Amino acid sequence: MPLDVFTSADADSEALAGSTVAVIGYGNLGSSMAANLAANGVAVVVGNRDDEYRGEAAAAGFPVADIGDAVARADIVFCRNLFIYFESATVVRVVRALADAMLAPAYLCVAAAESLLRLSTPFALQTLGGAFVYVRP
């Protein structure tokens, strides 16, 4: 079976124009996401606790803030592969804290395995251009 490979030519370069994206966590995935977004002209702020990853993000030239502050500055929040480690009650508590800090409207992007549909949260699932995102109205 052939593997589909997507490149920047497959994306709408204007889709994120004028937006600020908060990347939560600057580990392996977050650092790659932040670098790719910035390389394509997107304003990025990294939200990270005070650890070595926060220092790496700052050294890479990204504005770095506490998670709540980063979320409050962003139109779009990428928070990937975090909720898979939490029990449902903790996910709800974290998602509500994110929602309280987010602009309105704003978009929350999580991993496919991190569905919020079974939980009571302030977000609505929406399809945008074939992708699923959670919207804070």
* Phi, psi for residue 67 in degrees, rounded to 5: -55, -45
Q: Please report the pLDDT score of residue 129 as a whole number.
A: 77
The pLDDT confidence band at residue 113, using thresholds 50, 70 and 90, is confident
d(CA 48, CA 63): 11
Of 59, 99, 105, 58, the closest CA to residue 79 belongs to 99
Q: Coil, strand, or helix at residue 14? A: coil
Domains in the chain: boundaries: 19-136
pLDDT exceeds cutoff 90 at 38: yes
Work out the average pLDDT over 36-59.
Answer: 96
The whole-number pLDDT of residue 75 equals 95
Task: Give the residue-averaged pLDDT of 123-130.
Answer: 88
Compute the C-alpha angle 59/61/65, nearest 5°. 85
Please state the pTM of the whole predicted model.
0.89
Residues 59-109 pLDDT 10s? 999 999 999 999 999 999 999 988 999 999 999 999 999 999 999 999 999
Separation CA 76–CA 23 (nearest Å): 9
Q: What is the mean pLDDT of the chain?
A: 92
Tokens coding 100 = 């309280």
Q: What is the CATH number of domain 19-136?
A: 3.40.50.720
* pLDDT confidence band for 4 (50 / 70 / 90): confident
